[in-house]
């Protein structure tokens, strides 16, 4: 891949990451506000109903997926890093795949 193609690919990834970040921030703010106002149960229930309608899954699967999303948003809000930390470990030569402290 030449330099121009690489630059285009990086810009495309950055643009997509920025859009995803905006969506995630909006969702996190909505979740945190619902928790603060003690309306999170209603929010999570409605989110599961929407998820089920969109994905055609069972109610159980919808609630599981919504719970996973909520937990992941909370982890991100707390500063945890999943993929970035792993990338940094690999770049640092951690080829033994040993866990290390969170590298935010």
Q: What is the pLDDT of residue 49?
A: 97
Q: What is the pLDDT of residue 101?
A: 62
Q: What is the pLDDT of residue 104?
A: 54
Using the Cα atoms of residue 30, residue 36, residue 40 and residue 43 in order, give the sign of their dihedral.
Answer: negative
pLDDT in tens, 27-74: 999 999 999 999 999 999 999 999 999 999 999 999 999 999 999 999
Q: What is the pLDDT of residue 100?
A: 62
In angstroms, the CA 68 to CA 66 distance is 5
pLDDT in tens, 61-81: 999 999 999 999 999 889 888
pLDDT at 96 over 90: no
- The residue ranges of every structural domain in the chain are 3-76
In angstroms, the CA 79 to CA 54 distance is 30
CB 27 within 8 A of CB 73: yes
Q: What is the pLDDT of residue 32?
A: 94
pLDDT in tens, 4-34: 898 999 899 999 999 999 999 999 999 999 9
């Amino acid at each position: 891949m030449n330099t121009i193609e690489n630059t285009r690919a990086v810009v495309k990834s950055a643009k997509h990451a920025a859009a995803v970040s905006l969506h995630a921030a909006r969702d996190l703010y909505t979740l945190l506000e619902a928790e603060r106002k003690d309306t999170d149960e209603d929010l999570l229930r409605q989110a599961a109903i929407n998820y089920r309608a969109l994905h055609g899954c069972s109610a159980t699967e919808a609630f599981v997926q919504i719970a996973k999303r909520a937990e992941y948003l909370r982890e991100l809000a707390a500063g945890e890093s999943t993929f970035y930390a792993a990338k940094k470990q690999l770049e640092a030569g951690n080829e033994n795949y040993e866990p290390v402290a969170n590298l935010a």
